[in-house]
């Protein structure tokens, strides 16, 4: 609780001094009145603060970036001595400044309000009413009341966009490779009885005649190649405006989410290592909702340079048919490692997230990648 005593104390001392010097009862009464006003202010604020009740509800705990949720609040206090309208301290997703709202002075009556919460950036945010400040009518006494039941965790998921199908080395799209896997007659492993729908070319005719029933060959299915997605989880570069870093983060996450979503519909295994304070290896077995949840919680706190991450992953490419790299920076060491990875077997696709696709410092590096057979796509972040 804060007390603004400078002015009332100065007035009180002045009136009391005059009363004692002159013996005037009027000035004495005025000095007593100052004390009573201050005491009433303290009592009114403490009464209202001690009886303050606040309830909150968030319409959705998970939304996509760009969508809105609704925060519903109900507030009242049971103090009978009038106080100033309550001051609410609200917070929203990053990009929305914390704001304050004044309520009408309606003691003992429930006040309700509904506030839109705009999900401007991807991530996890604390949203809601964090505290309420009670003041007396003269602004002499103030008490801030922290609240613990009116703020919530809001998970903002990345939006996705269409990406071109990946081509897995040595140039076979995953769907064609899977189709051939079920029709490869070069590696029979066993036989079984004929079932409705089996292809005629799989029937083992000689064995069928000998057994008196139709028998079909079973074949070993080739192991499908994996897709490796590597996203730079270090802090994105600064482009000279306050929201640039947040916009780059959104673009990085949404590019990785788009590739992940597209590949989830295929038969290939997917691996997406997410580094930082809480590292996790995302794979297809988790399911897309859990994978997007992990992706949304990336805090971009990784301290290792991305080229070191690429170098480590380049040693684990035995079953990888395609590597998708999502980064907001490009340098010579990264280019060298990507070329070596491509020569080791898998196809490489780079998604370069940048505000300046025509940067003269980057164009020679892009040209070198393309000459080596590496796909390069640009992603331009949306300005918030």
Predicted pLDDT at 219:
62
Predicted pLDDT at 155:
95
Average pLDDT across the chain, whole number: 85
Distances (CA, A) of 161 to 250, 255, 256, 260, 274: 13, 8, 10, 11, 21
Residue 207 sits in the same domain as residue 258: no
Residue 75 sits in the same domain as residue 205: no
pLDDT band at 176 (very low <50, low <70, confident <90, very high): very low
Residue indicated by tokens 């989830």: 264
Distances (CA, A) of 362 to 154, 357, 368, 382: 37, 8, 10, 21
Residue 344 has pLDDT above 80, yes or no: yes
The closest alpha carbon to 252, from 186, 328, 149, 357, belongs to 328
pLDDT tens-digit series, residues 256-282? 999 999 999 888 889 999 998 889 999
173 within some domain: no
Residue 145 sits in the same domain as residue 269: no
Question: Rounded CA gap, 29 and 107, in Å?
Answer: 31
265: helix, strand or coil: coil
User: What residues make up the domain containing 145?
Assistant: 1-157
CATH number at residue 42: 2.60.40.150
Residue 202 sits in the same domain as residue 288: no
Average pLDDT for 176-204: 61
Count CB neighbours of 233 within 10 A.
24
Residue 296 sits in the same domain as residue 261: yes
Residue 274: exposure state from Cβ atoms within 10 A (0-12, 13-18, ≥19): buried
By percentage, how much of the chain surpasses pLDDT 90? Answer: 48
Q: What residues are paired with 350 via a beta bridge?
A: 325, 376
Question: Rounded CA gap, 300 and 249, in Å?
Answer: 8
pTM to 2 decimals?
A: 0.77
384 within some domain: no
Domain boundary among 199, 219, 239: 219
Distances (CA, A) of 110 to 53, 76, 107, 113, 154: 9, 5, 8, 10, 26
Count CB neighbours of 158 within 10 A.
26
Number of residues that make up the chain = 384
Higher local confidence (pLDDT), 166 or 173 = 166
298 within some domain: yes
Residue 108 sits in the same domain as residue 9: yes
Residue 104 sits in the same domain as residue 89: yes
Residue 143 sits in the same domain as residue 257: no
Predicted pLDDT at 260:
95
Residue 172 has pLDDT above 80, yes or no: no
- How many domains does the chain fold into? 3
167 within some domain: no
List, in sequence order, every beta strand (DSSP E) within the chain: 2-3, 53-58, 62-64, 68-76, 87-91, 99-102, 111-118, 123-135, 141-146, 151-157, 188-193, 215-219, 226-231, 270-274, 280-283, 320-327, 347-353, 375-379
Residue 212 sits in the same domain as residue 243: no
172 within some domain: no
Average pLDDT for 46-72: 93
Residue 140 sits in the same domain as residue 44: yes
pLDDT band at 241 (very low <50, low <70, confident <90, very high): confident
Predicted pLDDT at 102:
86
Q: Which helix (H) or strand (E) holds 194?
A: none
233 within some domain: yes
Residue 259 sits in the same domain as residue 337: yes
164: helix, strand or coil: coil
Predicted pLDDT at 223:
55
Residue 338 sits in the same domain as residue 369: yes
Which residues 6+ apart lie within 8 Å of 271 measured at CB?
226, 227, 228, 229, 281, 282, 283
CATH number at residue 293: 3.40.50.410
Average pLDDT for 87-100: 75
- Order the strands of the 270-274 sheet from edge to edge: 280-283, 270-274, 226-231, 320-327, 347-353, 375-379
176 within some domain: no
48 within some domain: yes
């Amino acid at each position: 609780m804060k007390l603004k005593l400078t002015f009332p104390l100065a007035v009180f001392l002045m009136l009391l001094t005059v009363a004692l010097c002159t013996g005037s009862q009027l000035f004495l009464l005025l000095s007593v009145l100052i004390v009573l006003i201050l005491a009433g202010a303290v009592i009114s604020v403490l009464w209202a603060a001690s009886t303050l009740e606040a309830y909150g509800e968030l319409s959705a705990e998970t939304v996509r970036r760009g969508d809105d949720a609704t925060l519903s609040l109900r507030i009242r206090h049971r103090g009978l001595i009038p106080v100033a309208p309550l001051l609410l301290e609200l917070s929203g997703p990053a990009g929305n400044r914390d704001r304050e709202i004044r309520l009408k002075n309606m003691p003992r009556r429930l006040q309700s309000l509904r506030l839109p919460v705009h999900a401007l950036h991807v991530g996890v945010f604390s949203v809601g009413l964090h505290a309420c400040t009670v003041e007396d009518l003269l602004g002499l006494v103030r008490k801030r009341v922290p609240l613990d039941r009116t703020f919530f965790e809001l998970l903002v998921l990345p939006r996705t966009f269409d990406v071109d199908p990946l081509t897995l080395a040595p140039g076979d799209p995953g769907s064609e490779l899977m189709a051939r896997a079920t029709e490869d007659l070069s590696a029979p492993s066993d036989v079984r009885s004929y079932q409705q729908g089996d292809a005629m070319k799989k029937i083992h005719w000689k064995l069928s005649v000998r057994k008196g029933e139709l028998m079909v060959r079973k074949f070993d299915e080739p192991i499908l190649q994996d897709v490796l997605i590597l996203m730079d989880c270090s802090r994105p570069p600064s482009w000279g405006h306050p929201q640039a870093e947040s916009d780059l983060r959104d673009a990085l996450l949404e590019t990785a989410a788009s590739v992940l979503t597209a590949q989830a519909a295929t038969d290939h295994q997917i691996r997406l290592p997410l580094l930082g304070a809480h590292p996790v290896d995302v794979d297809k077995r988790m399911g897309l909702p859990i994978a997007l949840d992990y992706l949304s919680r990336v805090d971009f706190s990784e301290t290792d340079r991305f080229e070191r991450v690429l170098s480590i992953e380049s040693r684990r490419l035995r079953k990888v048919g395609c590597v998708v790299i999502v980064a907001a920076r490009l340098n010579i060491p990264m280019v060298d490692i990507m070329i070596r990875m491509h020569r080791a077997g898998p196809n490489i696709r780079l998604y370069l997230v940048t505000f300046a696709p025509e940067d003269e410092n980057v164009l020679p590096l892009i040209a070198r990648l393309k000459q080596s057979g590496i796909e390069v796509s640009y992603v331009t972040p949306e300005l918030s």
